[in-house]
Amino acid sequence: MLSGIIPPFLGNLTTLIQLSLEHCNMQGDIPESLVQLRRMRWLFLGENRLTGSIPSGLYNLSSLEALDLGENRLHGTIPSDIGFTLPKLRILEFSSNRFSGALPTSLSNYSQIEVIEVAYNNFTGEMIDVTRFSSLQDLVVSYNSFKGDISTIASSLTNCTSLQLLELDDNLFTGSLPDSIGNLSSHLWAMNIGGNRLSGRIPSSMANLIGLTILGLSFNNLEGPIPWSIGKLDKLQVIYLGANRLTNQMPFSFGNLTLLNELHLRQNDLVGNIPPSLGNCSNLLLLDLSLNNLNGSIPPQIMSLSSISISLNLSHNVLTGTVPSEVGALRNLGVLDLSHNRLSGLLPSSLSSCVMLEWLHLEHNSLQGEIPDSLRALRGLQDLDLSRNNFSGTIPRFLGELRLMNLNLSFNALRGEVLTEGVFKNETAVSLEGNRELCGGVAILNLPSCSSTYSKKKKDLRKILIPAAGAVICVALTASFCIIMYMRRRKSQKDQTPTTIFGAPKLLRLSYADLMNATDGFSEMNLVGAGRFGSVYRGSIININGDEDDDAQTDVAVKVLNLNIRGASKSLESECNALRGIRHRNLLKILSVCDGIDF
């Protein structure tokens, strides 16, 4: 490969027609001697490290048809009379330099110009009139500070019947997209107008651009629905519509875009369900629907798209339900973000099939159960965030074996010993706060020692049981005012007999339905109190055992255990053991037990 400076002696080759030194690592200034090449037609000096300004004489080489100085470090302005001094110019490539000033209006004289690429510079001012550019194929002015009304620009571009590439992104263009944008060239394959100040709606006429493969409108102020007609652009491969104010539901017609590779709809106000028709996009590599108001469950059709390999981001919505087991089809997926939703249930074991995952974020949901052992298979995982869920159990040892760079397990219900291997060695890479029953770990985490914690528990077992029994009694006393108040319809002689219910000194035979009816469907109006292991409701049971008074009712208290809470069943056993040896007028006998898991 050539390198060094451009030798000045090249200016002596006065019959030279073409000089191409692209991508040769050339540096220094463009030699002034090149202005002697009066027959030069094509000058290609792009992709080097050239500095300084362009010799003014180069703009007087009237035979020049192509001037490519892109991707250098050149600066300066374009002469205002360039449209007159280079009358044959067809290609103007100044991208990725440090040019400034405005594009000369004289450029509008070029009816034969085919390429104008001046992206990534410091150009300012109004966009030139392109009405006469009937031969224009590429117009690339991205990442400058051009101004103008997009409606006017788009309308003038309808005369450019050969237009193939249109990139106006990241400038200061304003206005709304006109219906006439649908009249642009049928050869147009890429249109990017993102990063401007556009407003209004996306016109449905855009469906006329049947050759479009890339559509970029992100980072504007576009509003209203995404037109259903976008599904007619069956050649689309990339759609950028993120960071706007788009509303309504996602169009079902997205499912017609079977060649689609990337769909970016991040940061809008989209609502409703994610259309299952996206499952037809069998070439999808990236799907970003984050930061919207999408609801409902995650369609399994999307999780079945094995083509998604770059990223699947559904975070910051209001999605519900479980993580579909079909997630295992995403074998090549690198980034999965389902955080900040309302997902619940257990993590599916099929996650173990996502062996290429590097980034897994599930924080701010209601996921539960133990951290599944299936995550052990994700050997390439670097960033794992399971924070602010309801995960329980101990921290699995395999997390210390993975090459994690960041691990967030904070605000769950984890317990037991914290590991000291792998990511757990780096206190800045792991977050465990909000888990009250963890111990051990590296010293800087300031967790209690596991050995002292467990020995203290054994030593103080009696001290713990005694207050616990007392607490059970206190709860019973507090709820006793509503536990069974007998109707004083018995004769005085019957009051001397052992207290029974409905005349039978044995447990009632009650069903879950009886208890549900007695408490009006466990209504909150009948809620007496709630504790860690369950809730107590007041209710009334009709005489179902055939007493003399068929209309007699008995007021009862019904305690419903939450068996999802560890220790709930043992709490009932402890309560019974504490109460069976106590006799008090405000404490009544247990009348019945109903054992069931559903209605």
Distance of CA 237 to the CA centre of its chain: 21
Q: Comparing C-alpha atoms, which of 55, 140, 138, 31 is closest to residue 96?
A: 140
Burial of 374 (0-12, 13-18, 19+ CB in 10 A): middle
Nearest Cα to 298, choosing from 270, 319, 277, 326?
Answer: 319
Closest by CA to 24, choosing from 43, 50, 42, 57, is 50
Tokens of 334: 């690198």
Question: 300 with 277: CB under 8 angstroms?
Answer: no
Sheet holding 553-561, edge to edge: 527-530, 534-542, 553-561
Q: Extract the tokens encoding 177.
A: 């997209």
| Residue 559 is labelled as binding a ligand | yes
In a 13 Å sphere around the CA of 210, the CA atoms on its Cβ side amount to 2
Residue 203: HSE in the Cβ half-sphere, 13 Å Cα cutoff: 15
- Using CA atoms, how far residue 570 sits from 459, 464, 476, 575, in Å, is 21, 15, 16, 8
Cα 523 to Cα 348, 528, 594: the distances in Å are 34, 10, 18
Tell me the C-alpha distance between 220 and 211, whole Å: 24
Q: Is 201 exposed, middle or buried (0-12, 13-18, 19+ CB in 10 A)?
A: middle
Q: Which of 551, 552, 547, 569 is nearest to 560 (CA)?
A: 569
Give the whole-angstrom CA distance, residue 363 versus residue 439.
22
Enumerate the known binding-site residues for ATP: 559
Enumerate the known binding-site residues: 559
